[in-house]
A = this chain, B = another copy of it.
Amino acid sequence: MTARVLAGALPRHAGRAVRIGGWVHRERRLKSVTFLVVRDRSGLAQVVLPPEHTRLPEETVVEVRGLVTASPQAPGGVELTEPEITVLSEPAAAPPFDLHRPTLTASLPTILDHAPVALRHPRLRARFEVAAASVAGFRSVLDRAGFTEIHTPKLVGAATESGANVFAVDYFGRPAYLAQSPQLFKQAMVGVFERVHEVGPVFRAEPHDTARHLAQYTSLDAELGFVGDHHDVMAVLRDVLAGMVAAIAERGADVELPVVPAEIPAIHFADAQALLGHQPGEPDLAPADERQLSDWARRTHGSEFLFVTGYPMAKRPFYTHPDPARPGYSRSFDLLFRGLELVTGGQRLHRHTDYLTALAAHGIDPAPFEGYLAAFAHGMPPHGGFAIGLERWTARLLGLANVREATLFPRDLHRLSP
């Protein structure tokens, strides 16, 4: 059996008999000829149909044997003539929208309800190729920098971030929870590997229906030991972002890619509040503040990325390292990208006694954390890390209004299928 040739490779087979396979993208009837446009993962192929033929419904999967013939008007300058068509699926049911139009004209709920078919639209599919390239870039930078990939439990005995938005699981008759982050595991593994990364699902029982929250999202996590402070973590994040952008560029995606500056500009939280004209003492930034700060970074630094550093301790989780030089502030950061908070990170506490103090100050019972706290009792270096929300990154990069548009099968308050 001759090997299947992808649509994108047909020009290299001009004059030869080949076999292609793909989906019926559409039938194009012109005055004197009818074309069958076949879609595969590489692009579109044009097949010249004989005058007598059975009409095949769109999305039917076919195999076509034919002769690759030069045709200046065809995509790639070739078309398939003398076709012999075999249907590999059944004749397909009609999709609830036209997949062959330049954009998919359907509401977001309709698209999500029909995700297995809607995602076939080349523009929708391309989003996830960008996401895949981003993840490959993330790993490639960290692997080269001596990070070890880890796989941590998603079933835990206690909530790591806050008790509010956690999913409960029936674990052999006992209560368990879905991990809201790999935070404590990745920290403990700094004690083993010094530098670790993990790409995996995290779970938040978000009771709010917003355009930027999901009940499950993909977290790109990194953590590294022997840092001076959070600036060492920010430097790694900078390189990771540059690698993600480079990987997207390398795969030739049609995206307006940002330039990642050699050093991403940074502003301290207190200075950011002053810049925004807020009263000192406000503990957090509102989404509108983030947009305004991003605008400021673009205007004054020519950067689409901005670090906001030193968030008040009051708003950060118990494992946050304080800034000894500025009481009340932390050695943490958020990264804003095009107006949106995309990454959270910072230096963590690394001394066991500091953890006990911090847990007590937050009113958290240390008992469920005993196993992880052991890592700190037995010697941990100063360390820090960050977590990038993959769907937020992809959505922001591609200018998508809703993070669900960058998720294959989103899960939220209302949606548990498909």
Q: Which A residues contact B (CB, under 8 angstroms)?
A: 1, 4, 21, 23-24, 40-41, 59-61, 88-90, 92-93, 95, 113-117, 119-120, 125, 128-129, 131-132, 135-136, 139, 143, 146, 148-157, 167-172, 174, 176, 178, 185, 188-189, 191-195, 199-201, 203, 205, 207, 215-216, 218, 226, 228, 350-353, 368, 370-372, 374-382, 390, 408-409, 411, 413, 416-418
Contacts and interface: CB of A to CB of B under 8 A. Distances in A.
Contacts of A120: 191-192
Nearest to A58: B379
A138 B153 CA distance: 21
- Oligomer copy total: 2
A378 B201 contact: no
Contacts of A218: 151
B116 A40 contact: no
Given A116-B372, A167-B170, A92 B353 contact: no
Nearest to A42: B146
Given A168-B169, A169-B167, A350-B89, A151 B390 contact: yes
Given A90-B352, A113-B371, 11 more contacts: A24-B379, A40-B194, A59-B378, A88-B350, A132-B149, A136-B149, A151-B390, A151-B408, A156-B416, A167-B171, A374-B418
Contacts of A379: 23-24, 59-61, 89-90, 92
Contact of A377 (B61, B93, B167): B93
Contacts of A199: 199
B146 A408 contact: no
A351 B89 contact: yes
The prevalent SS among residues of A at the interface is mixed
A406 to B, nearest CB: 11
B226 A185 contact: no
A153 B411 contact: yes
B191 A157 contact: no
A132 B146 CA distance: 12
B116 A191 contact: yes
B350 A114 contact: no
Given A216-B154, A411-B155, A378 B93 contact: yes
A416 B205 CA distance: 20
Given A150-B128, A172-B205, A205-B172, A375 B116 contact: yes
Contact of A151 (B168, B201, B372, B376): B201
A375 B61 CA distance: 12
